[in-house]
Amino acid sequence: MSSSSYTPTLSSLGVGSGLNLSSLLDGLKSSEQTRLQPLQTREASYKSQLSAYGTLTSAVKNLQGAADKLNDPSLYNSTKVDVAGSAVTASSSTSAVPGSYNVSVSQLAQAQSLVASPVADKTANIGAGGTISITTGSNSPVKIDLANGKSSLADIRDAINNANAGVSASIINDGSATPYRLVLSSDASGTANQITVSATDASGASGTPLANLLSYNSSNSTGNVMTQTVAAQDAKLSVNGIAISRSSNTVNDAIQGVTLNLNATTTSPDQVTTTRDNNTIKGAIKNFVSAYNSYQGKVSSLTAFNGSSPSNNGVLLGDSTVRSVESQVNKVLNTPVSGGSLSTLSDLGISLQTDGTLKIDNENKLDTALASDPHGVAQLFSGDPSKTATTDGVAGMLSTAIGNMTDKNGLLSSASKGVQNSIDDVKKSMTDMQKTIDATVARYQQQFVQLDSLMSSLNSTKSYLTTQLSQLNPSSSSSKG
């Protein structure tokens, strides 16, 4: 009798025994994996809950952002400016006060411009290098060094533009036999920003070609080889008959909170009028109502109840955290504000609907309050506009409440952290369970390998005995004959 040397592997499992052990092992493995399903279901549930908390947090933070705008006292100082005329345009800031101003412009500000003597070739070197000195107004001189071989008109232009000297250099082609002329223009308008420029040639260079090209003294007009083509001048205007002079055509300090842009001189005054910008305030109120309704819609969706199909219930149905958030938000909206002429949102024509949303159902009431009682509107939303009082308005109280909910130790943050901890615990349990499953499947596999080997050995023995017995049968038949 010979023994078999067959050693089964996973890929040949069942060959020795003739049994479908690989398929049986796969079935056992699939069956073991089902032990993970309850944990996977729990993990999916926790993840849905965490996502829902994220949605709710985003909604309340969006509401907080809208409330913060209404809690800003500067909102209620919003102004708009209108101009009758074409010589002046204007804009206003929150420091502007309502008023009307006659603005006349007799002279626009302009920047000084100088032009150098013409040269035939803008790429040919002028002298052997040297130093250019440029001063604008009362600023310190800026020194610009030119290397030997780098002193062409184009080199000079580029060196000046790269020096941040307060001037801009360009080359103009006038079409003559010596067409190229260097032009220097002050970056800022007004007589306080005039240009003084001089040049010295490099030591040892013959002649003074740079000095002969670049020289202009705006303070005393001596030694000038450049020509002034545009004189620096200040803007001259009057506001309600008061004469004003500025170096720029943008005047932001003549009328409080108003920036004037001078575009042309006038023959008759332009009228600049600043008024309270109630549309901006009204827009912020509408945004607040919209943000609240968006928040309310998210809450309704997350806590929806569908008795006929529980699987369609909201993820946070019956959740105590959501109930607490709703309670705190509603408490703020329903708490009258003391100390002002307006105490509730309904005083502005804003009411709570049966579906939990807010609605501006009396816009005329809101417009009237904005027009006749702007201080009362400001107090209702932001408390005392000077912020000297300790009592906040609706917007301030709501922003504080939401901030407490969403800070790192707040209600929503703590709830999210708790769910995340549950997810982490489930993941650990799944990892441990998978190790157990893998060990069980490995044990089944080893047992099947041993079974396959044993069956292979038994089949080999059976074959041997069958062969031996078949050889005995003929001799037994012969002896009987």
Q: What is the pLDDT of residue 308?
A: 73
pLDDT (average), residues 140-162: 95
- Long-range contacts of range 315-322, CB-CB < 8 Å, 24 or more positions apart? 315/48, 315/49, 315/51, 315/52, 316/49, 316/52, 316/53, 316/56, 321/53, 321/411, 321/412, 321/415, 322/56
Quote the tokens at residue 467. Answer: 């062969």
pLDDT tens column, 56-83: 999 999 999 999 999 998 899 889 999 9
CATH topology of domain 113-230: Immunoglobulin-like (2.60.40)
Percent of the chain past pLDDT 70, that is, above it, reads 90
Residue 82's SS3 state is: strand
pLDDT (average), residues 236-257: 97
> Where does residue 262 rank: exposed (0-12), middle (13-18), buried (19+ CB within 10 A)?
buried
DSSP for residue 114 = E
> Is pLDDT larger for residue 153 or for residue 222?
153
Task: Tell me how far apart the terminal alpha carbons of the chain are, to the nearest angstrom.
Answer: 30
Q: What is the pLDDT of residue 1?
A: 44
Q: What is the pLDDT of residue 452?
A: 64
Residue 219: other Cβ atoms inside 10 A: 8
pLDDT tens column, 319-332: 999 999 999 999 99
Q: What is the pLDDT of residue 218?
A: 92
Domain ranges of the chain: 10-78+277-462, 79-109+234-276, 113-230
Quote the tokens at residue 14. Answer: 């069942």
Cα gap 195→210, rounded to integer Å: 17
Give residue 125's identity as a one-letter amino acid code.
Answer: N
pLDDT tens column, 371-395: 999 999 999 999 876 655 557 899 9
Predicted confidence (pLDDT) at residue 177 exceeds the cutoff of 70: yes
**Residue in 290, 281, 289, 294 with CA at minimum distance from that of residue 379:** 281
pLDDT (average), residues 441-462: 73
Q: Which residues contact 55 (CB under 8 A, 6 or more apart)?
A: 298, 302
Predicted confidence (pLDDT) at residue 174 exceeds the cutoff of 50: yes
Cα gap 475→403, rounded to integer Å: 104
